[in-house]
């Protein structure tokens, strides 16, 4: 079937397309057939998605498998997203990584999708596929292969030349996704053709989308339908203007979604919240654009990216933090959204030069799950509280949004309230926030609401409610707790559950020192043992209206458990204590299995760092998860009433009932003993990686820059093209050699270079260092730099041949552009002028990675290598031919002059079984030194480029490398390219391998990603 899909795609490429010829080939019958195939599996209405007959709030986290090139760890990420209470993951596929060579699509090795689909199914995570072809995602060229920069046709338009380039990729990835659809027993429930196709290519066109854009969008839709995709197709509208919504005409999709990044990207000032993108009136716009589909936020800001010379990911986490989750997410709920995707939930790494020109090696993104896979950021816990609430709130799934207003339902106009009206249920949801949403004030208020037992001013038992800085609340009325009516509740609901005997457990939480109140309708519960007298001065209990019980308490760090009857228990928690609770779904029979399906049986456990899975086996609750300290595991709720024992990661625990009657067991943590290498004492081997400046160097095998024209939209300023993309070099670094014959008038050399934000370059004349640019301009690392370089100190012999050697750091192409095809902006030499010479007097030769688009290392992909000599030879891979190389240490010795040195060493690791220990390579921070060293260093781990450290700019000094790339139990090869931009050379200020918070873990130990060793490369120069 795969062969058929590929041949079908090739056949499509031969069809006669072009302007004046429709690229469309579709029938409404196929869409009707798709809906028939989805019968009983997926449907939707104006309220929500319905999966296998159950309404669901689709809570999704963005995770890109190719940013974690260790497939054995994908299950770990899925389980951590599932533990949030999420039930879906949205993912891009990256065309540029799988078709680096035109006509050869390689979904194999770490780029294969089968393991991704398998891990998602095992964790019980539904998938929303976003194959592009354009993805943005802060990737080089927005995810396009580098070779698309050479075609004349505009990208993302209906020109046949461009459209035909997408056919093989679309057919191949489309078939892979189709095979993993829910209709075939897989996890894929939705697909997005294209991405944010509303701002490019006709951003200045007032009638966007124009007919050609509509035809292209329709064609992309049909590509995936032809490949067998029948799940609903969705769109993410970047500008929220109704483009591609159902009923909008040609190119329309079935589910309309929007994007929003309201906190923007200034991580350097994380406490300053911008106000220009505050989401408001979304429910009105949704009714205008797509009233018959669920309200879908396809991308909502979960963090922000980092860049060279700026701040690190922790600052981006501080910008998009737990407060933003409370305020902005709850504001979103006020619009009655029912499909919600967080970009990013796990970011990962821009390994192998896959990022765009404005990013650094990290794609941590300040996300809830860190780049090293840790989950200890507070916003992870805040997200968990909110997601779990909606899993037990079916009334929200058919609720509709009202309008926000200041002072309505509350006693002060300093607070805004939005009422979400129940339709199929009597439940209402009141979203409370400050009227000035960025406020850091603390405001007291009373809540004035209508309930099933009348109008009320709350709190009824005295005092006031409190809204603290950058906080928001969800108050509920007439909320069903397993048949018991919660008349109102000002505290927030984490979860509730009802066991086989009918006993209900309700967990509420609030901020420290806040006063909260709830009321129970006594007519809906057993009166057998209601306790109205409590020996607790912080808790008041009073019966009102003859049939209602009101409870008020002041939140403290001490937990309170109220047993209001034999079958109703309420836990009153401080919010930070609630963070330690886990709601874990129990597996069900196929086909539901581990997927969420409300209502579904759960257990509630307190204590561990993470709970991954739970299974009840007779009288034993078997848990898997992680701990980072000795901890008591407390069983708060289980549905059978039979559990008497607990095991954790297959270790039986000694359990006892505590004072609250809960089964509790102590789990001891023993820190692992790990021996890590000392890189100052290891034996490093060294070789010069810039032989190109030697007189004896032969560049006859290099590409001669002789193309007299270019398809690039940027016109040539030189007699022949010097654009790297025109010769098939798209990543890493670039080296030019300019040959000329001196005439004695060479006083200056002007260079206009492009390398991406914060790029650098170094220039030699024969073997003499001339100049460097360190990338630190005041414009924030602009991608283009001009220099007029004096050559007056270099005496050139008249009539003698000379060579300029120019090394340029390639930081990645742009991800998007404000107009047609600016994304093709070339890299390398844009222009030059050698005094006393015509431009044609200089013959330029060029190299990038060996082979260019015919790259050698298929396992690690098309962007992993650059132009440096050691990379072209493959010496960064394990087992290079280093027997006769010099012994030299990059920390102690370094290199003595401007140039590029290559260093490699090996070491063994033996991490004890059962422990997940994230390990990171750490460079000493020299960017803040009084005199910063101007050097750039690439980090290779077992052949994989896992970081670019720019010493004078930073900010990134810590480079996590996942297990599977780094062998935690075996041999490892580390290699460094050390490029000094200073005449005096450079050495590392420090370099180490450091552990980050070890976990005794129930994770599945990953297998090693492919690590092919060095082999002599044919044609290497």
Q: Which residues are catalytic?
A: 196, 299
Distance CA 552, CA 515 (A): 7
Distance CA 341, CA 315 (A): 22
Of 190, 45, 70, 68, nearest to 125 (Cα)?
190
Q: Nearest to residue 1, comparing CAs of 205, 228, 217?
A: 228
With the C-alpha atoms ordered 582, 579, 329, 433, is the resulting torsion angle positive or negative? positive
From start to end of 351-398, where are the E strands?
none
Pairing of strands 999-1001, 620-627: antiparallel
Burial class (CB in 10 A: 0-12, 13-18, 19+), 670: exposed
Supply 163's token pair. Answer: 């459209």
**How far apart are the C-alpha atoms of 5 and 12, rounded to whole Å?**
11
Question: Do 711 and 826 touch, CB atoms closer than 8 A?
Answer: no
* Contact by Cβ (8 Å): 256, 290: yes
Q: Which two tokens stand for residue 804?
A: 């300029």
Cis peptide before 63 (omega within 30 of 0): no
Separation between Cα atoms, residue 72 and residue 1009, nearest integer Å:
8
Tokens of 41: 């599996």
Whether omega for the bond prior to residue 201 falls within 30 degrees of 0, making it cis, is yes
Task: Phi first, then psi: give them for residue 902, nearest 5 degrees.
Answer: -120, 130
Tell me how long the chain is: 1021
Q: Where are the beta strands (DSSP E) in 422-483?
A: 428-434, 443-445, 447-451, 454-458, 465-467, 472-481
| Strand-strand pairing, 296-301 and 255-260 | parallel
**597 contact partners, CB below 8 Å, separation of at least 6:** 51, 52, 54, 56, 588
Q: Which helix (H) or strand (E) holds 908?
A: strand 899-910
Taking alpha carbons only, the member of 697, 706, 748, 696 closest to residue 727 is 706
Q: What is d(CA 601, CA 588) in angstroms, rounded to the nearest whole number?
A: 8
- C-alpha span between 244 and 236 (Å, rounded): 9
- Residue 728's φ and ψ, nearest 5 degrees, are 85, 20
Q: What is the CA radius of gyration of the chain?
A: 31
325 closest CA partner among 475, 210, 433: 433
Listing DSSP states for 110-144 in one string gives GG-SHHHHHHHHHHT-EEEEEEES---TTBGGGG-
Among the listed residues 285, 236, 216, 283, the one whose alpha carbon sits nearest the alpha carbon of residue 19: 216
> In the β-sheet with 828-834, what is the strand arrangement from edge to edge?
784-790, 748-754, 828-834
Distance CA 467, CA 439 (A): 10
Q: Which of 263, 272, 241 is nearest to 331 (CA)?
A: 263
**How many angstroms separate the first and last alpha carbons of the chain?**
41
Phi–psi pair at 920, nearest 5 degrees: -130, 140
Assess contact for 724 and 848: CB atoms under 8 A: yes
Q: Is the peptide bond before 344 cis (omega within 30 degrees of 0)?
A: yes
Query: For 548-582, b where at least 16 C-beta lie within 10 A, e where not — what string?
Result: bbbbbbbbbeeebbbebbebbbbbbbbbebbbebb
């Amino acid at each position: 079937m795969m062969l058929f899909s590929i041949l079908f795609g090739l056949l499509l490429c031969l069809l006669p397309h072009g302007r004046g010829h429709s690229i469309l080939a579709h029938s409404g019958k196929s869409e009707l057939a798709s809906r028939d195939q989805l019968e009983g599996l997926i449907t939707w209405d104006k309220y929500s998605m319905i999966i296998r007959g159950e309404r669901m709030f689709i809570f999704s986290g963005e995770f890109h498998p190719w940013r974690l090139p260790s497939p054995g760890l994908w299950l770990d990420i899925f389980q951590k997203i599932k533990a949030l209470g999420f039930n879906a993951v949205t993912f891009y596929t990256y065309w540029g990584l799988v078709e680096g060579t035109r006509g050869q699509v390689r979904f194999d090795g770490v780029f294969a999708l089968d393991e991704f689909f398998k891990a998602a199914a095992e964790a019980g995570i539904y998938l929303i596929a976003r194959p592009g072809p354009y993805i943005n995602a802060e990737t080089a060229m927005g995810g396009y292969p580098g070779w698309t920069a050479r075609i004349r046709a505009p990208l993302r338009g209906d020109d046949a030349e461009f459209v035909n380039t997408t056919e093989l990729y679309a057919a191949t990835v489309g078939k892979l996704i189709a095979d993993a659809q829910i209709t075939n027993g897989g996890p894929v429930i939705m697909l997005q053709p294209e991405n944010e196709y509303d701002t490019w290519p006709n951003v200045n066109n007032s009638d966007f989308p124009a007919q050609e854009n509509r035809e292209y969008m329709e064609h992309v839709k049909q590509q995936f339908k032809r490949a067998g995709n029948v799940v609903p197709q969705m769109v993410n509208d970047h500008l929220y203007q109704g483009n591609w919504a159902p009923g909008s005409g040609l190119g329309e999709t079935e589910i309309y979604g929007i994007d929003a990044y309201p906190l923007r990207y200034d991580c350097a000032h994380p406490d300053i919240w911008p106000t220009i993108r505050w989401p408001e009136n979304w429910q009105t716009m949704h009714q205008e654009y797509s009233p018959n589909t669920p309200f879908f936020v396809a991308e909502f800001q979960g963090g922000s990216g980092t860049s060279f010379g700026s701040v690190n990911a922790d600052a981006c986490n501080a910008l998009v933090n737990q407060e933003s989750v409370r305020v902005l997410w709850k504001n979103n709920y006020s619009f009655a959204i029912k499909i919600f995707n967080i970009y990013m939930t796990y970011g990962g790494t821009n390994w192998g030069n896959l990022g765009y020109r404005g990013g650094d090696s990290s794609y941590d993104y300040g996300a809830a799950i860190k780049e090293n896979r840790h989950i200890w950021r507070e916003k992870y816990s805040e997200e968990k509280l909110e997601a779990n609430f909606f899993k037990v709130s079916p009334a929200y799934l058919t609720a509709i949004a009202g309008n926000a207003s200041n002072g309505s339902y509350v006693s002060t106009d300093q607070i805004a309230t939005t009422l979400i009206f129940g339709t199929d249920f009597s439940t209402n949801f009141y979203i409370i926030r400050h009227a000035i949403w960025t406020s850091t004030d603390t405001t007291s208020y009373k809540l004035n609401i209508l309930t099933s037992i009348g109008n009320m001013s709350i709190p009824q038992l005295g005092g006031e409610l409190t809204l603290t800085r950058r906080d928001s609340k969800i108050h509920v009325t007439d909320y069903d707790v397993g048949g018991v009516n919660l008349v109102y509740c000002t505290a927030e609901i984490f979860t509730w559950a009802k066991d086989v005997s009918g006993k209900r457990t309700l967990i509420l939480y609030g901020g420290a020192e806040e006063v909260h109140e709830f009321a129970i309708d006594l007519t809906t519960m057993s009166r057998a043992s209601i306790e109205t007298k409590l020996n607790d001065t912080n808790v008041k209990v009073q019966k009102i209206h003859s049939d209602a019980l009101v409870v008020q308490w002041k939140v403290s760090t001490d937990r309170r458990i109220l047993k209001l009857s034999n079958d109703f228990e309420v836990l009153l928690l401080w919010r930070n204590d609630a963070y330690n609770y886990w709601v874990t779904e129990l597996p069900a029979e196929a086909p539901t299995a581990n997927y969420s399906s409300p209502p579904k049986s759960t257990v509630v456990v307190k204590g561990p760092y993470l709970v991954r899975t739970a299974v009840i086996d007779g009288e034993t609750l078997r848990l898997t998860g992680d701990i980072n300290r000795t901890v008591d595991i407390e069983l708060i709720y289980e549905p059978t009433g039979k559990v008497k024992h607990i095991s954790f990661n297959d270790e039986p625990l000694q359990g006892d009932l505590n004072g609250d009657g809960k089964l509790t067991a102590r789990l001891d943590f023993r820190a692992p003993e790990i021996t890590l290498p000392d890189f100052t004492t290891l034996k490093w081997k060294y070789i010069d990686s810039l032989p190109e400046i030697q007189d004896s160097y032969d560049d006859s095998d290099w590409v001669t820059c002789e193309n007299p024209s270019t398809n690039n939209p940027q016109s040539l300023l030189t007699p022949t093209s010097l654009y790297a993309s025109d010769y098939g070099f798209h990543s890493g670094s670039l080296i030019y050699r300019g040959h000329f014959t001196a005439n004695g008038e060479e006083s200056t050399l002007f260079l206009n270079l492009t390398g991406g934000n914060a790029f650098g370059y170094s220039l030699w004349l024969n073997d003499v260092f001339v100049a460097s640019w360190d990338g630190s301009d005041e414009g924030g690392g602009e991608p283009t730099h001009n220099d007029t370089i004096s050559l007056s100190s270099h005496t050139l012999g008249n009539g003698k041949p000379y060579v300029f050697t120019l090394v340029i750091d390639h930081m990645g192409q742009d991800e998007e552009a404000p107009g047609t095809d600016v994304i093709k902006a070339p890299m390398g030499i844009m222009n030059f002028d050698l005094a006393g010479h015509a431009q044609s007097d200089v013959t330029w030769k060029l190299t990038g990675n060996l082979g260019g688009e015919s790259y050698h290392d298929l396992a690690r992909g098309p962007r992993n290598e650059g132009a440096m000599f050691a990379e072209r030879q493959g010496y960064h891979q394990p087992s290079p031919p280093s027997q006769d190389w010099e012994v030299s240490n990059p920390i102690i010795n370094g290199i003595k002059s401007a140039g590029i040195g290559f260093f490699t060493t090996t070491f063994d690791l033996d991490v004890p079984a059962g422990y997940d220990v994230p390990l990171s390579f750490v460079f000493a921070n020299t960017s803040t030194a009084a005199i910063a060293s101007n050097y750039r260093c690439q980090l290779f781990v077992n052949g994989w480029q896992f970081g670019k450290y720019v010493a004078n700019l930073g900010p990134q000094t810590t480079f996590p490398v996942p297990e599977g790339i780094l062998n935690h139990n075996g041999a490892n090869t580390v290699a460094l390219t050390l490029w000094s931009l200073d005449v005096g050379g450079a050495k590392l200020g420090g370099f180490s391998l450091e552990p980050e918070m070890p976990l005794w873990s129930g994770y599945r130990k990953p297998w090693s990603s492919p690590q092919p060793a060095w082999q002599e490369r044919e044609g290497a120069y």
